[in-house]
Amino acid sequence: MELLKRKIMSDGVVLSDQVLKVDAFLNHQIDPLLMQQIGHEFAKRFAGQGISKIVTIEASGIAPAVMAGLELGVPVIFARKYQSLTLKDDLYTSTVFSFTKQTESTLAISSKHLNAQDHVLLIDDFLANGHAARALIDLIGQAGASIAGIGVVIEKSFQRGRAELDEQGYRVESLARIQSLSGGQVSFLD
């Protein structure tokens, strides 16, 4: 998606050869017009797939997921993050290792909102090593729901998440694929 790539080049900050900061338009300040176009692009790529729900993670997945939900006309569920969780009644839960915080937390979705009839599009802001995607796939599996595919705003293709999801047979659609962040420079795969 050209507009997104231009935005990454103009407003993204390479923090290291592993981490890209996009606080100017996705992770802190949000660019609504860009989010609208991201939602449009996801909806175009997953049109006609019988998607009934979108599932994402708080907080940075919510903006792109809501815009995609608006376009596809389906509800959006965000998995909530807890440092510790004792009351697990009526919740699907899974642990996730955070790439940016380097800590573990528990993700939870209420069983009220997701069930075996759902066909889910999973959306997240970044795909790095695939921990977040794996935890969401686990939660969706607990509900007995099926997965139409995974929509990612920014994929860092040099980390292992994409290859693992491909191997597992999931359809992954990434709107910007980063080949390398070496030397403080962003280079795209296609």
**Residues at the contact surface with ligand 5GP, assessed by CB under 6 A:** 19-22, 27, 57, 60, 99-100, 124-133, 161
Between 45 and 131, CB nearer to ligand 5GP: 131
Q: How far is the CB of 19 from ligand 5GP (least distance, A)?
A: 4
Q: Which residues of 33-46 are buried (b: 16+ CB within 10 A; e: fewer)?
A: ebbebbbebbbeeb
Query: Cα separation of 89 and 128, whole Å?
Result: 31
Between 18 and 142, CB nearer to ligand 5GP: 18
Q: Which residue has the tokens 């929509």?
A: 151
Q: How far is the CB of 2 from ligand 5GP (least distance, A)?
A: 20
Residue 132 labeled ligand binder: yes
Q: How far is the CB of 136 from ligand 5GP (least distance, A)?
A: 10
Between 52 and 105, CB nearer to ligand 5GP: 105
Secondary structure tally for the chain: helices H, strands E: 5, 10
Comparing C-alpha atoms, which of 170, 39, 19 is closest to residue 162? 170
Residue 119 labeled ligand binder: no
Ramachandran region of residue 25, left (φ > 0), alpha (ψ -120 to 50) or beta? alpha
Comparing C-alpha atoms, which of 163, 179, 173, 186 is closest to residue 122? 173
Q: How far is the CB of 118 from ligand 5GP (least distance, A)?
A: 21
Residue 115 labeled ligand binder: no
Residue 116 labeled ligand binder: no
Binding residues for 5-phospho-alpha-D-ribose 1-diphosphate: 128-132
Binding residues for xanthine: 20, 27, 156
